Amino acid sequence: MRDTPKARWGRPAPHRPSRRLGPSWPRLAAFAGIIGGLVIVAAFIIGWVRGDSCSDVYCPSSVEAEPPAGFAFASKLYELRGDTRDLPDGAEFQLSVKLERAADDAGGLALYEYDPASRTWTPLGPAVLAEEGKKAQATVAKVPPFVAVLRRLLPAGHVIGYLPAGQTLHPSAAGALTMLHTLDFRPSADGGVEGQPTLVADRGGALWLPTISASSAATGSLANVDAILSSAASRTTHVQAILRVVRDTGADGIDVAYLDLRPDLRQSFSLLVLELSQALHKEGKLLSLTLPPPQRLADRVEEGAYDWKALGEAADIVQIAPMRDQRLYRLHMPEILEYLKLSVPANKLVLTVTPYATESSAEGFRTLKLAEAMRIAAAIAQPGSSAEPIRTNANVEISAPNIDRNLGVSGIVWDPNTATVTFTYKQNGNRTVWIENAFSIGFKLELVTKHQLGGVAIEDVSADPLLGDIWPALEPFIESGQPVLVQPNPADLEPRWTASGGTLQGGARGAVTWTAPPQPGTYRITLQVGDGVFRFENTIEVAVQPPPAAAGG
């Protein structure tokens, strides 16, 4: 985190409109004129729509439509309502449609005709940007009854990244993300918003929706959310504070990640999200939600504080936060996804994967960076003592107690039940560490494809070298939409011991027998452990003393 002053967004501030602000529901006007045999049908804003009236050739349609798999709406769906009988037969038309948000690149954009009867989409032509990216144009051979601009997603769908405040993007993330959440903001007790925006110089065309977050891990944040959700007035105050953040930062929207809420706040939270959604959409902005996965109980799926149907209708995208308990992940997550798809369109649901390891203990769950997890695994018990020093030529048992199978722990292994590299150890009771890396992530990405979800989110896309490297699994998935399902080589998970003197015997089970050299001195014993991708080492120094002097005669 950067050491920067807290910015307060809860009080009114001078309004600086975004460069893409505009009426919430634009009217379309159409005109026709023959220019060199080409009939021009142009769409443009002429003012606010009042009531349900629309006298233009194309009007926003009330027909419900879902984009085809692998696509997202870049405009509203428009319906032909005007009279086109005077248009000449056999002419080509240039159709121009206002985009929901200005685009910098026409790549992936095209105009499509929609058929409500068959619920099918037919491409009309690739889009060309006009008016500083606010409109998309295409030359078409007919005037379609229904038209929209669609954006082709990557084969994997959305690729969404969370970036800790003040951090830099991982090199592999810079050109891969479709949406970036910077973890910048927190709710304040008076309904305002605290924090400073993280400005990423090159996000590779990704939409920027900074996150405002609260959870049990952030001291005091849940109490602030409780106060916000206590009344309609306090909800509105908070919505207006969030709107000011979006306007003043020029963001494409906001991501709300209010986790660990009490079940009795369920209705009030839904009302907050609905009010925020309506306000953002009026300004052409997006609403993203990050929600904890429901719990799979014996007889039902429990949503707790989160009404997924209501929230899914209000939000543009919903990220499912990581499920930490890997013992249940492969058992429960498929059922949870099937349940959620009954309430939320699958293309709105995004599964979050993480580069963090998780430790399970009697106290609950905690996340670890890969380097932290490997440091635990590589701990070595110091042999010898002042009372019993190590002598030359002695056979010494040296143990890495957290992976020493002779002590009743698992060692570092691939667990097929959790599809993770894991190890168990003992410290104030039994503990289990599940490591996320390129191997485990592949098996989680399989769920995105199997359940036809809207994409994948990554819990941390920073360049932190201490995190697990999950990009070797993400990159081919982003490119092809298909997960790579491989397991680590068991030999790469075995501990490796070296010594600067003497000889070693054994070691694969987490303990080694070291025969001290015949010369006294200080020697180094090094242990290397790995997760199948990287190896980490720990070294201790062992003092070897000469044999005791013979007793005098």
Mean local confidence (pLDDT), 84-105: 75
- What per-residue confidence (pLDDT) applies to 28? 30
Percent above pLDDT 90 for the chain: 69
pLDDT (tens digit per residue) in 340-398: 999 999 999 999 999 999 999 999 999 999 999 999 999 999 998 888 999 999 999 99
Which of 21-35, 97-111, 528-542: highest mean pLDDT?
528-542
- What per-residue confidence (pLDDT) applies to 246? 95
- What per-residue confidence (pLDDT) applies to 47? 25
Give yes or no for residue 148 having a pLDDT over 70.
yes
- How distant, in Å, are the alpha carbons of 151, 375, 506, 508, 525 from that of 530? 42, 10, 18, 13, 17
Percent above pLDDT 70 for the chain: 87
Would you place residue 58 in the very low, low, confident or very high pLDDT band (cuts 50, 70, 90)?
A: confident
pLDDT (tens digit per residue) in 102-117: 887 776 788 889 999 9
- How distant, in Å, are the alpha carbons of 51, 184, 242, 243, 265 from that of 193? 34, 10, 7, 10, 20
Residue 44 or 298, more confident:
298
Which of 21-25, 64-68, 193-197: highest mean pLDDT?
193-197
Q: What is the CA radius of gyration of the chain?
A: 30
Mean local confidence (pLDDT), 142-171: 90
Give yes or no for residue 421 having a pLDDT over 80.
yes
**Of 333, 285, 340, 331, the residue nearest 311 (C-alpha):** 340
Mean local confidence (pLDDT), 203-222: 92
- Look up the pTM and report it: 0.76
**And the tokens for 360?**
């399970």
327, 320 contact by CB (below 8 A):
no
Give yes or no for residue 321 having a pLDDT over 70.
yes
How many angstroms from the chain centroid is the CA of residue 111?
29
List the domains of the chain with CATH numbers: 34-152 (no CATH), 158-355+436-480 (3.20.20.80)
**Of 115, 113, 149, the residue nearest 133 (C-alpha):** 149
Range scoring the smallest mean pLDDT among 360-364, 478-482, 496-500: 478-482
Report the chain's terminal Cα–Cα distance, integer Å. 70
Give yes or no for residue 400 having a pLDDT over 50.
yes
**Of 229, 158, 159, 224, the residue nearest 192 (C-alpha):** 224
Residue 307 or 133, more confident:
307
| Neighbour-count burial of 91, counting CB atoms closer than 10 A to its CB (0-12 exposed, 13-18 middle, 19+ buried) | middle
pLDDT (tens digit per residue) in 257-315: 999 999 999 999 999 999 999 999 988 899 999 999 999 999 999 999 999 999 999 99
